[in-house]
C-alpha cells in the first residue's frame, strides 16, 4: 500500500476539527454516556494527528503512540462505563449535575 | 488525483458523522454515527500509509470499545424517557458562550497549522517496522500500557461487581 501525497496540514485540519467537535460535545452534553463518547472522539483525533505526523516523516513512532492512545481509551471506557452503571443505580438518572459531590 | 479525493471524501464523512453523533438525542443513533466516523478515520489511516493503525482502529475502536457502549446502553434501558430528557437538556443558551470562546482558540490553532508545509511521505510504514519499534526503544511504554490495562480491568471489575445485587454478593461470600 502506497501512501498518498495528502498535504500534512489538511490532515491536521481534519484532526483539529474532530477535536473541536468532540470538545463542543463535551460542553453541550450532560448525559454521562455522551460525555464518554465525546472523550472517545477527542482521543481519536489526537491519535489521527500522531499517525499523520508519523507518516509525514516516514517513521513508525506515530503508530506506536497511536497504540498507546488506544490502550488509554480502552481502559478509560471500561472504568467510565462502570461509573455510568453506578451513577444510574445511585441517582436514577444519567445527568452528571446530580453527581457533583464526592460523597452524595 | 482520484486517490487524493478519496481522502477528502473520507474526511468529510468523518466530520459529518461526528457532528451528527454529538447532536443526536437517542444514544444508539449517536453510537452508530460514531462508528461511521471511526470507520472513516480508519480509511484516512489507510490512505496516509498506516495500514496497521487502520486495522487496529476498526478491530479495537469500532469493534471492542463500541460494543462496550452498546452493552451498557442496553443494560440501562433508557427508551423514550431518556430521549425527551436529552432534548430538554440541549438548550443553546447554555452552551453558546463556551462554544464561541473555544471557537476563537480553534481559529488560532488553524493559523498555526497553516504554517506547516509538505505532504505526508509516499511510503507506507509497515506493521513490521511498528513492531520492531514497539519492542525496541518503546518497550517500557508497552509495560506501562499493560499495567494501565490491568488497572482498568481491576477498576471496572470493582465498579461492576457492586452493581450486582446484594444477594449475589452474599452467596459468593459463603
Q: Among B30, B114, B119, whose Cβ lies nearest the Cβ of A37?
A: B30
Does this model's pTM top 0.80? My answer is yes
pLDDT at A103 over 80: no
pLDDT at residue number B167: 47
Contact B89, B23 (CB under 8 A): no
The mean per-residue pLDDT over the stretch B99-105 comes to 84
Give me the residues of B, 113-132, that contact A with CB < 8 A: 113-114, 116-125, 129-130, 132
Cβ–Cβ below 8 Å for B156 and A79: yes
For residue B173, give how far its alpha carbon lies from the nearest alpha carbon of chain A (Å).
22
For residue A62, give how far its alpha carbon lies from the nearest alpha carbon of chain B (Å).
9
- For residue B114, the chain A residue with the least C-alpha distance is A9
If one compares A46 and B5, the residue with the highest pLDDT of the two is A46
Which of chain A's residues have a Cβ under 8 Å away from the Cβ of B136? none
The mean per-residue pLDDT over the stretch B142-166 comes to 84
What count of CB pairs under 8 Å joins A to B? Answer: 254
Integer Cα distance of B40 and B11 in angstroms: 7
pLDDT at B65 over 60: yes
pLDDT band for position B166 (50/70/90)?
Answer: low
Per 3-state DSSP, chain A is made up of helix, strand and coil in percentages (nearest 5) of 80, 5, 20
pLDDT at residue number B40: 94
Q: Which ipTM value was assigned to this complex? A: 0.89
Look at residue A31 and give its three-state secondary structure.
Answer: strand
pLDDT at residue number B127: 85
Number of H helices, E strands in chain B: 9, 0
pLDDT at residue number B144: 94
Residue B9 forms contact with A (CB below 8 Å): no
Query: Using one digit for the tens of pLDDT, what is the confidence trace for A47-88?
Result: 999 999 888 888 889 899 999 999 999 999 999 988 888 888
If one compares A9 and B146, the residue with the highest pLDDT of the two is B146
Residue A57 forms contact with B (CB below 8 Å): yes
Cβ–Cβ below 8 Å for B141 and A20: no
Which of chain B's residues have a Cβ under 8 Å away from the Cβ of A46? none
pLDDT at residue number B31: 92
The CATH number assigned to the domain with range A8-99 reads: 1.10.287.3510
pLDDT at residue number A102: 64
pLDDT band for position A32 (50/70/90)?
Answer: confident
If one compares B35 and A97, the residue with the highest pLDDT of the two is B35
pLDDT band for position A1 (50/70/90)?
Answer: very low
Integer Cα distance of B90 and B100 in angstroms: 16
Alpha helices per DSSP H over A2-57: 8-28, 32-57
Q: What is the DSSP letter of A100?
A: -
Give me the residues of A, 64-103, that contact B with CB < 8 A: 64, 66-68, 70-79, 81-86, 88-89, 93-95
Amino acid at each position: 500500500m502506497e501512501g498518498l501525497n495528502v498535504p500534512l496540514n489538511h490532515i491536521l485540519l481534519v484532526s483539529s476539527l474532530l477535536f473541536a467537535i468532540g470538545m463542543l460535545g463535551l460542553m453541550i452534553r450532560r448525559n454521562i454516556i455522551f460525555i464518554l463518547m465525546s472523550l472517545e472522539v477527542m482521543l481519536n483525533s489526537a491519535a489521527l494527528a500522531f499517525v499523520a505526523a508519523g507518516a509525514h516523516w516516514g517513521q513508525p513512532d506515530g503508530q506506536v503512540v497511536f497504540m498507546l492512545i488506544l490502550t488509554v481509551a480502552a481502559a478509560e471506557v471500561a472504568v467510565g462505563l462502570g461509573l455510568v452503571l453506578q451513577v444510574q443505580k445511585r441517582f436514577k438518572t444519567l445527568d452528571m449535575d446530580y453527581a457533583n459531590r464526592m460523597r452524595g | 488525483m482520484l486517490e487524493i479525493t478519496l481522502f477528502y471524501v473520507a474526511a468529510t464523512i468523518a466530520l459529518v458523522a461526528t457532528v451528527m453523533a454529538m447532536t443526536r438525542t437517542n444514544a444508539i443513533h449517536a453510537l452508530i454515527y460514531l462508528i461511521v466516523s471511526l470507520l472513516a478515520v480508519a480509511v484516512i489511516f489507510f490512505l496516509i500509509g498506516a495500514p496497521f493503525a487502520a486495522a487496529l482502529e476498526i478491530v479495537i475502536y469500532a469493534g471492542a470499545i463500541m460494543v462496550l457502549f452498546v452493552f451498557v446502553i442496553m443494560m440501562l434501558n433508557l427508551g423514550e424517557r431518556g430521549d425527551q430528557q436529552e432534548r430538554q437538556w440541549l438548550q443553546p443558551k447554555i452552551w453558546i458562550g463556551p462554544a464561541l470562546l473555544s471557537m476563537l482558540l480553534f481559529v488560532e490553532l488553524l493559523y498555526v497549522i497553516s504554517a506547516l508545509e509538505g505532504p505526508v511521505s509516499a511510503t507506507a510504514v509497515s506493521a513490521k517496522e511498528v513492531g520492531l519499534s514497539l519492542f525496541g526503544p518503546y518497550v517500557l511504554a508497552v509495560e506501562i500500557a499493560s499495567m494501565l490495562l490491568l488497572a482498568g480491568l481491576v477498576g471496572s471489575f470493582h465498579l461492576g461487581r457492586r452493581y450486582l445485587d446484594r444477594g449475589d454478593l452474599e452467596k459468593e461470600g459463603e
